[in-house]
Amino acid sequence: NKSCQKQNNFDQNLSINLKFRLLFVIDTNTKRKLDLQVLRFFKKKLITNKTSGKISHSSDNCFTKIKSKFVMLNAIFPFLKKNNLSGISSMQLETTKKAEGERAPEDVLKDFLEKNKVKKSNDVAEKFSQIEVTLEDLMQYREKEIEDICAEAGISMVSKADLCKVLRSTPDSYAYKEAQRTKVVLPPLILQASEQEKLDAIYEKVKKVSEKVMAIDKEVEQMERESQEKKKEINEKFEEMISNMTKHKEKIINELEEIKNKKINEMKKMREELVKKEKEMKEWNEKWNEAMSDPNTDIY
């Protein structure tokens, strides 16, 4: 009776705008995610047993009915979260607005970016949406992966820095867990004299190898410098040779042009003289023919 009464109270207050909790249960064996959607609690709270990976309630029968009812709802504000080590992840979400339907992942991401004042949040949300990256994905990516994705999507350095800073301060993100990891401090070791001697010998060998490596590096650097200097010298020599050859070529071409012009002028003068003589000879020939054709002309 108590169980039925609780469910009736639940149904009567379904439309009331109150605080609610989203609880996500993950099957650790099959890795399937079961979204129980909006479970509203008024007088009783669900207790999550992280050790066993199960959920218990003071009334199992009531919880079963509530679960079967709300699994069928296409619900409000779905927020999936990947499986963690214990197999169960829970999150509380406070709101005073009545949800009318399921929100798109790009809207959730856009609100998250705007709320945390990420620069150019609209542009960032649009570019993430184009490559199908959601807020859930960002929560599970390592910081290095987020940087690579931002570079691939063409997101500016300033926006990328803001996003990484926000995720490092968001407890549900993998970047936050990475930032919270502390270095393991190893206890001091006590070595015997023979072990210390062996370590010293190894250190000396490593030191000699390091010195040889440094010497080789210096030789390589010296060769690089000398090679650059030689290249510069060769380029200068060739440029000088090319310049001299160009000047010599121009000089030869000019001389050839002068000789050509001189010869052409001489040939033109010779032609003019020949044309003049040809004209004189034609005139003389005409006079000769006239004289020969005249019967009154005496020829001695």
Mean pLDDT taken over the chain = 70
Q: Which two tokens stand for residue 14?
A: 């379904």
Q: For residue 276, what pLDDT band results from cuts at 50, 70 and 90?
A: very high
CA–CA separation, 107 vs 86, rounded Å? 30
Question: Of the candidates 76, 48, 56, 60, which has an alpha carbon nearest to the alpha carbon of residue 6?
Answer: 60
CA–CA separation, 23 vs 134, rounded Å? 20
Question: Of the candidates 167, 184, 185, which has an alpha carbon nearest to the alpha carbon of residue 176?
Answer: 167
pLDDT in tens, 106-124: 788 888 888 888 888 888 8
Neighbours of 292 (CB within 10 A): 10
Query: Higher pLDDT residue, 181 or 66?
Result: 181
CA–CA separation, 162 vs 174, rounded Å? 16
Residue 36, H or E segment: strand 33-39
Q: Does residue 265 surpass a pLDDT of 60?
A: yes
pLDDT in tens, 62-110: 444 444 444 433 343 343 333 333 333 333 333 333 343 467 887 888 8
